[in-house]
Structure 1
Amino acid sequence: MHTSNLPDIFASLGISVLVSTYQAGRLVMLRGQGDVLNTHFRLFDKPMGVAVQPNRIAVGAGTSIWEFHNLPAVCAKVNQKEESGANQHDACFLPRTTHWTGDIQIHEMAWVGDSTNPTQSELWFVNTRFSCLCRRSDTYCFDPVWRPSFVSSYVPTDVCHVNGLATLDGRVSHVTALGETNTAGGWRDNKRDGGILIDIASNEIVARGLSMPHSPRWYRGKLWLLESGTGSFGYVNLDTGKFESIATLGGFTRGLSFAGPLAFVGLSQVRESAVFGGIPIAERAIEERDCGVWVINIETGQTIGFVKFEDAVQEIFAVEVLPARFPELVNEDRELLAGSFELPDHALQDVPADHRSV
């Protein structure tokens, strides 16, 4: 179910939205299709973090990271497979690498470095099980680059539940965690208001008392985040360390992305009581909690649209705006994958013109 204005919002911004749901094992592509919203599903093993650049996507799954590249020439093949009158795809993402991480409970991810030059950027991700930030490595399962000052060692016991990261000017600037703790699962003892925001450069805690914070993001000069335990969306005043809520929504807020004056916020129903019990949003009746993506005007705090998931999808992790109107992501069509090739420019010079789109 969605509000009737959502396809027009997507069209006016020239975007689609990627949504990961580890509970349902799907990556969902929300795409405008005329006056309806097209929900396109792709299977993954427990997908969580999603990192987006204009021509590549990374998806963090249960034990691996998948990277996809946009091959626009393949759109013609995809369009031929569609029924007559279907939308014309303007991007097609095909798998390029799969990196094995092991079960690290991967959370948020981001490309770090020069966003205008993909060869100069690295994929960083939150390794929640080992309570640290990591870089993807060609040699190792993960390459740790930072951990909170109060975490004494790299152990796979999720001591503080580091979960979200914010980037600014090509570097990671802040992370969120659910506790200032150094014992196995210690963050669980104070889920209600034990959450923190950490400045990476100084390794100092700049905000405390947050209720299960997630998804810190720099946008238009403010550091936004979601206080998931209260269902709130807002920003942190870094001078005072205070969280300023601009909207309270009907679900566990997690997953945040922006386009224009709009924020796209993920909501989950949080049915599993062991992890989410004891927080304000879980005190609402289950039928009063929503799951989906809500669109908020950041200038007014008003909800201007939403898409609500029902039945199979109950929990969302990542929400990422993609600068393509009607993209495709291919991870199972063996025939298409076997017959589509990406070559460097110097090699393409020697490929006949009539073969360059096949």
Structure 2
Amino acid sequence: MSSPTPTSAPDPADAEAVASALASVHTTNLPDLLRQLGGCLIVSTYQAGKLVILRPDGASINTHFRTFDRPMGLAADGERIALGTRVEIAEFRNMPAVAARLNDPPRHDAVYLARRGHVTGAIDIHEMAWDRSGELWFVNTLFSCLCTLDTKSSFVPRWRPSFVSHLAPEDRCHLNGLGMRDGRPRYLTALGETNTPQGWRVNKRDGGVLLDMQSNKVVTRGLSMPHSPRWYDNRLWVLESGRGALVTVDPKTGAKTDVARVPGFARGLDFLGPVAFIGLSQLRESNAFTDIPITEDNADRLSGVWAVHIGTGQTIGLLKFTGGVQEIFAVQALPGTLFPEIVHEGELLESAYALPDEALRQVKFSSAPAGTAKA
């Protein structure tokens, strides 16, 4: 593994990020690793109130910060981003043509502009994903259920664990992780098989469960704060956050196999090729999750993103935050994109217009107005 080197400074245009000294270091191979895999990473940190894009930039990783109110759940692909914040789900759409209006056009291969927001109320949105028909599913941790959206409701409950008797804003089992399979929601994690207000806290050390939504049964029990279930490479993966472990689970028998251990509270997982990208959190002393194995076994818990080869379980690269960011929630890979931008405020939102194809064919410019862009 290459030795850590300082990342490039946060973008000068993002004055708030500079002022907050959101510093990091990374292994020298990480920029080339992302280029070889053909993608970049987006990371959410509710503790720092930031969405962070990790973009390869020459020999460095460009850490690009955008400020949001408690950003957590995240879904992203080449066309769209959905982000769960304190009281809403914000949606962004890629308008690549806008890249020509940025300060350095050749560098940007995607520009995600804010498109809409849906107010959910403060429901502690955790993981989210789109299904094959484009519907967004998200974990509503406060109400212990899996939800979708409609045009009139705060949220639409679609499923809850069989052991949760009713809907209530009581975080009964700390439902948190969502994994898709064949384009449908399939696997979920919870920190306890419990049905009382905050009941999961009693045995958070090893009371966690991995659930199969299709059968509405528990796949396996005895997990230490499980998170981020994923179906990838024909295997079921999950993070045991409390042990700092990347684990595979046999979906038929529930048998667990450790693939890798990482030096922090593991939360947030995505894959590019043979590499798993895992989010790590330090866990502050005031955090409710501190009396678990990882806090006892590893006093020097780290915060950042670890790259682990899924064939060998070895760490092959990493980015470690050294200031400002202590806790990571989501890690999302963006295949096919190396240097994206995210725009949720400012002049570009006033003068960048996305039109349906039929309407776009009817648009004519007698002279190109300043600040006009076509999607």
TM-score range, shorter chain: over 0.9
Q: Secondary structure at the match of 1:289?
A: coil
1:95 to 84, 102, 114: 114
Q: Does 1:60 align with 2:60?
A: no
1:97 Cα offset (Å): 0.6
Q: Does 1:335 align with 2:347?
A: yes
**Using the alignment, how far apart are the partners of 1:284 and 1:298 within structure 2?**
23
Q: Secondary structure at the match of 1:305?
A: strand
The count of corresponding residues between Structure 1 and Structure 2 is 345
Q: Does 1:248 align with 2:267?
A: no
Q: Secondary structure at the match of 1:11?
A: helix
**Using the alignment, how far apart are the partners of 1:349 and 1:100 within structure 2?**
34
**Residue 38 to residue 187, structure 1, CA distance change in 2 (3 Å):** same
1:347 to 359, 371, 374: 359
CA-atom RMSD, angstroms? Answer: 1.4
**Using the alignment, how far apart are the partners of 1:207 and 1:18 within structure 2?**
30
**Residue 293 to residue 274, structure 1, CA distance change in 2 (3 Å):** closer
User: Could you say which residue in structure 2 is the equivalent of 1:117?
Assistant: none
User: Could you say which residue in structure 2 is the equivalent of 1:105?
Assistant: 124
Superposed, 1:197-216 pairs within 5 Å as 197-216=210-229
Aligned AA (1:108): E
1:12 to 30, 36, 44: 36
**Using the alignment, how far apart are the partners of 1:13 and 1:19 within structure 2?**
17
Superposed, 1:37-186 pairs within 5 Å as 37-78=61-102, 81-82=103-104, 88-113=107-132, 120-186=133-199
1:180 Cα offset (Å): 0.5
8 Å CA contact 1:196, 1:205 repeated in 2 = yes
1:271 Cα offset (Å): 1.1
**Using the alignment, how far apart are the partners of 1:144 and 1:167 within structure 2?**
17
8 Å CA contact 1:33, 1:87 repeated in 2 = no
1:274 Cα offset (Å): 4.8
1:352 Cα offset (Å): 2.8
TM-score (norm 1): 0.94
1:357 Cα offset (Å): 3.8
1:283 Cα offset (Å): 1.3
Aligned AA (1:98): G
8 Å CA contact 1:87, 1:326 repeated in 2 = no
User: Could you say which residue in structure 2 is the equivalent of 1:29?
Assistant: 53
1:238 Cα offset (Å): 2.0
Aligned AA (1:330): V
Q: Secondary structure at the match of 2:353?
A: coil
Q: Does 1:295 align with 2:307?
A: yes
8 Å CA contact 2:172, 2:199 repeated in 1 = yes
Q: Does 1:310 align with 2:329?
A: no
**Using the alignment, how far apart are the partners of 2:37 and 2:225 within structure 1?**
31
**Using the alignment, how far apart are the partners of 1:53 and 1:311 within structure 2?**
29
Aligned AA (2:363): V
Aligned AA (2:206): D
**Using the alignment, how far apart are the partners of 1:255 and 1:169 within structure 2?**
20
Unmatched 5+ stretches in structure 2: 1-24
CA deviation vs aligned residue, 1:278-303 (integer Å, no higher than 9, x gap): 210111454x1110000000000010
Aligned AA (2:78): P
**Using the alignment, how far apart are the partners of 2:360 and 2:40 within structure 1?**
30
CA deviation vs aligned residue, 1:106-151 (integer Å, no higher than 9, x gap): 00000012xxxxxx31000000000000002211000000001111
Q: Which region of structure 1 is more displaced relative to structure 2, 7-16 or 291-300?
A: 7-16
Unmatched 5+ stretches in structure 1: 114-119
8 Å CA contact 2:229, 2:238 repeated in 1 = yes
User: Could you say which residue in structure 2 is the equivalent of 1:116?
Assistant: none
**Using the alignment, how far apart are the partners of 1:169 and 1:284 within structure 2?**
37
1:330 Cα offset (Å): 0.5
Q: Secondary structure at the match of 1:276?
A: coil
